[in-house]
Amino acid sequence: MNHMDQVRMLEFPVNGDERGHLVIVEGLQDIPFEMKRLFYIFGSDPEVVRGQHANRKSQFVLINVAGTSKVKVKDGRGNEAIYCLNRPHTGLFIPTMVWKDMYDFSEDSVLLCISDEHYDPAEYIRNYDEYVKAVLEENE
């Protein structure tokens, strides 16, 4: 199984009227999981690369609610893809066991990350060689 095949952009409903826009993200409706945790990243310089890990248990949806950034995903077998997050009503779904780098943050970037798991550092794989090994083991 290649988890990277499931990486995809999601589009959320926008309720707009003369008062402005309201974007709705419902667990199991607009994203493919129930949410347990959210965190957001802001104030990262353009040359900073964040992420640089894969998760054994957590799935994520990443939304640039303000500004822009890029996300590079890798499958540990030589395939990679780059997504530009540049609209506040779209999100990038990243399932488990996908390597991710977040970078090219605009000065006003606020990157909202939604997950289906509470934080557990033990389920993060932060070493790329270890990740490649885990991908191979998974497919044995």
We find the least distance from the C-beta atom of residue 17 to ligand TYD, in angstroms, to be: 34
Which tokens in the block code for residue 126?
Answer: 């932060």
Cβ-based nearer residue to ligand TYD, 11 or 108: 108
Cβ-based nearer residue to ligand TYD, 24 or 80: 80
Residue nearest to ligand TYD (CB): 50
Cβ-based nearer residue to ligand TYD, 9 or 39: 39
Amino acid symbol at 68: T
We find the least distance from the C-beta atom of residue 26 to ligand TYD, in angstroms, to be: 21
We find the least distance from the C-beta atom of residue 115 to ligand TYD, in angstroms, to be: 7
Residues 53 and 97: their CA atoms lie apart, in Å, by 9
We find the least distance from the C-beta atom of residue 85 to ligand TYD, in angstroms, to be: 14
Residue 94 and residue 113 in contact, taking contact as beta carbons nearer than 8 Å = no
What does each C-alpha distance from 114 to 38, 71, 96, 119 come to in angstroms?
Answer: 4, 15, 13, 11
The contact set with ligand TYD (CB under 6 A) reads: 37, 39, 41, 50-51, 53, 119
Instruction: Indicate which residues carry an active-site annotation.
Output: 53
Cβ-based nearer residue to ligand TYD, 30 or 117: 117
Beta strand extents in 13-138 (DSSP E only): 14-17, 20-23, 37-42, 50-55, 60-66, 69-74, 80-85, 90-94, 99-103, 110-115, 124-125
